[in-house]
């Protein structure tokens, strides 16, 4: 009587050959490994408040003088000068400057990604 004939995979499994040929699984990403052409808009952190002291001096003067603008003209002028100076500094900031933490804002990143879009297919 002849010995039973088993499939080839059974003989490899019994002899342990399957362990030698086993390789780690190939990792296949679920999405293509390219950058997106935009990032999510995140809320910008509020900057430091400016001209607080000038505003408080102006309001204190108003309160003392029954909200008379003529009596507080100097304080009002100082407050408006401070506001104009702060506005000028804000506008003079370069568009490509980093945030205090060293990151670009999401709007600046989106602008750069629009200038340099990802190539998704080759010609």
pLDDT, tens digit, for every residue of 81-112? Answer: 999 998 888 777 655 566 666 778 888 888 88
Structural domain includes residue 88: yes
DSSP 16-64: THHHHH--PPPP--SS-SS--S-----PPPP----SHHHHHHHHHHHHH
Beta carbons within 8 Å of 12's beta carbon, 6+ residues apart = 18
Q: Residue 82: which domain range?
A: 49-95
Q: Over the stretch 74-85, which tens digit does the pLDDT of each residue have?
A: 999 999 999 999
Task: Decide: helix, strand or coil at residue 76.
Answer: helix
Please give the Cα distance from 114 to 25 (Å, whole number): 37
Structural domain includes residue 39: no
Structural domain includes residue 84: yes
Q: Over the stretch 21-73, which tens digit does the pLDDT of each residue have?
A: 566 667 788 877 777 888 888 776 666 788 999 999 999 999 999 988 899 99
Structural domain includes residue 54: yes
Structural domain includes residue 66: yes
The model's pTM is 0.46
If one counts every other C-beta atom within 10 angstroms of the C-beta of residue 81, the result is: 12
Q: What is the mean pLDDT of the chain?
A: 80
Q: What pLDDT is recorded for position 20?
A: 56
Hey, what's the torsion of the CAs at 48, 51, 57, 61, to 10 degrees?
Answer: -120
Structural domain includes residue 69: yes
């Amino acid at each position: 009587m002849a010995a039973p004939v088993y499939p080839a995979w059974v003989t490899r499994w019994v002899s342990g050959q399957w362990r030698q040929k086993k390789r780690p699984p190939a990792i296949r990403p679920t999405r293509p490994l390219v950058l997106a052409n935009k990032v999510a808009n995140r809320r910008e952190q509020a900057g430091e408040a400016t001209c607080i002291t000038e505003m408080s001096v102006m309001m204190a003067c108003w309160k003392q003088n029954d909200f008379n603008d003529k009596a507080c003209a100097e304080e009002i002028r100082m407050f408006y000068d401070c506001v104009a100076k702060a506005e000028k500094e804000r506008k003079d900031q370069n568009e490509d400057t980093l945030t205090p933490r060293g990151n670009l804002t999401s709007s600046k990143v989106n602008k750069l990604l629009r200038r340099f879009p990802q190539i998704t297919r080759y010609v």
